[in-house]
Structures are given as structure tokens and as C-alpha cells.
Structure 1
Amino acid sequence: MTEQAAYPLPAFYFRVKFATTGDSADTAFQEVSGIGGQIDTEEITEGGENRFVHRLPKAVKYSNLVLKRGIADINSELVKWCLKVFAHGLDSGIAPMTIMVDLLDSNGQPARSWSFVNAWPVSWQVEAFSASKNEVAIEKLEFSYQYMSRES
């Protein structure tokens, strides 16, 4: 472990990569959230024992991965992929891809990494426009995925 990695890492220096898009300019995001999972449980009441309920593990459930950025150009490979999913729905099938999120150290090298396998877009929203604010127009992309793994 590097000396830098021994300290808490800042949350502002990160990188998002999509497995099939080669355009690195298309992967600049302002915010990443939704990294996490939980185990669903089933409650079983034991006959004759009224003091407690057994909670048994069922399956792991992951949050959707949420990415925010300034509204991208229509020629973006990521935008094209999302448009294909939303425009064609389930008519042509969804081609999932792996999304990687790296939290970077001060040298720009991955200190912590997560992979989101078989991800596909489930929501695409443009945040509200307001004449009373001086802010960048933001789009929010939300992805469901099969499973997540932490690489480092």
C-alpha cells in the first residue's frame, strides 16, 4: 500500500470508464453515487418462542449506480447507447456493459476501484432549467447492474 493510500482519500478525484467506449472525454462526470449493496432478509417466527424473530439472509441487492454530468453532445458513444436503450426499449434487446469507477490518488493512479458488471441504463433525466440560477445544465444517468466488485 502506498503512503498516500494510508490516509483517507478525497472524494473529488475520480474516474469513470465504460468497457466499450473509447472516448475518454465522454466519461467526465461531476458526481458518482449509489455504490453499495445490502442483504435482504426473511423473518421467521419460531413456534413457541415469542421473544425474538429469526432473520435469515436471502440475496444481495445492489443500489443503482447514479452518474451526473453536464449534458453531453448527441454524438457521444454513451449518449448513443442510452438513446438506443430508451428509444427501442426491449424491441432490440439491451447490450449491457461493464462500468468501472476509480477513486484516484494524488498521482492520478487508482487507489480504490469498483466494477459494475452487466450494467444498463434504467433512468435518464435532465435536471430542471432555471433562469434564476447560474449553473451548468446537468443530466443524471442511472444504471442497474448484475453485481458489483471492489478491485482494490
Structure 2
Amino acid sequence: MSGDYFEDGYPPPAFYFTVGFGSGNPIADTAFNEVSGIGTEIETESVVEGGENRFVHQLPKQLKHGNLELKRGIAQFSSPLVGWCRATLEGEFSTILQLRTIIVKLNGEKKQVLRAWEFNDAYPVKWSVDAFNSTKNEVAIEKIAFAYSFSKRTV
């Protein structure tokens, strides 16, 4: 670990991050208040050893990951990201899915990139709006979930 990462002995806060959409025509509409779903795990298969009931071997099977989820205030209809979501989710598969690379960066206080993840061949699979509530004074939030082929940590 570099000295910059654990300034004063503490891990970095998770509130300073950026999201970018690349591959082809990059989307500039990238302001989000939450990113979740970053993670990968190995799916295993249990194999009982024959004749020896005490042992169950966990054999690696395949990598799996959930969807990458982004949250933000409801965007304007003219938003490029809204256009991509509408084309994908409301297009009834009349056109080929447009795949993009999504890059999430966790930044330090001096705008340096501390960690970065790249999600390849991503496309929107779910687009929802949080509940409206007349007793709360909150921003209306939309959530977009993306499926992707694979991810890698780049920093």
C-alpha cells in the first residue's frame, strides 16, 4: 500500500468517486450519489469424498458477479444515459444492444485515483425509481442496474 492510500492511518472515505462510460461514444452524463454491486466470487461445487463421510471438498466451478447498480437524482429526458437506457429497455430488442465499458474510480482528497474498476460489455438491465413519499422532503431517485461480461480492478 502506498503512503497516500492510508493517510493518517485511516482507509479512504467512500464518498469521493467518479463514474465514466467509455467504448465508442463516451457518455458525459455521469453524476451519481451511490455505486454498489462491485464484487466477484467463485462459485463452488460440493463433492463428498467416497467412503469418508467427514470430508466435503469445495471445488471451484466458475466466477460470478451481480449487477453494477448506480443511483442518482432523476435525470432530464435529454440525458444521454437516459437515451441509452430507453433504447435498451424500451426498444423491444429491435436494435442490437449497445455495450459500453463502465469505469468506477475511488478518489483521494487530492483527486488522485486510489482504486479503479472496469466493467466490460455492460448494458442496462433494470431501471427503476424509488418510492415517492409526501411526508419526506427528498430528491426523487432513479436506480440503474447494469449486467456486464467481466470486471477487473485496474488500480
Task: Place the TM-score, normalised by the shorter chain, in its bin.
Answer: over 0.9
Q: Is the 8 A contact 1:30 1:69 kept in 2?
A: yes
Instruction: Map residues 3-152 of structure 1 onto 2, 5 A cutoff.
Output: 3-7=3-7, 8-19=11-22, 20-23=25-28, 26-152=29-155
Secondary structure in 2 matching 1:119: strand
Distance 1:80 1:123 in 2: 14
Query: 1:91: Cα distance to partner?
Result: 2.6
Higher helix fraction (1 or 2): 1
> CA RMSD for the aligned pairs?
1.3
AA matched with 1:65: L
Secondary structure in 2 matching 1:80: helix
Give the aligned length.
150
Secondary structure in 1 matching 2:51: coil
Distance 2:3 2:40 in 1: 29
Which deviations, in whole Å up to 9, do the C-alpha atoms of 1:63-98 show, x marking residues without a partner? 211100000111111110000001113231211100
Query: 1:53: Cα distance to partner?
Result: 1.1
Query: 1:6: Cα distance to partner?
Result: 2.9
- TM-score, reference length from structure 1: 0.93
Distance 1:105 1:46 in 2: 49
Query: Identity rate of aligned residues, in percent?
Result: 49
Distance 1:89 1:101 in 2: 29
Distance 1:18 1:116 in 2: 10
Q: Is the 8 A contact 1:66 1:142 kept in 2?
A: yes
Gaps of 5+ in 1: none
Q: Is the 8 A contact 2:123 2:147 kept in 1?
A: yes
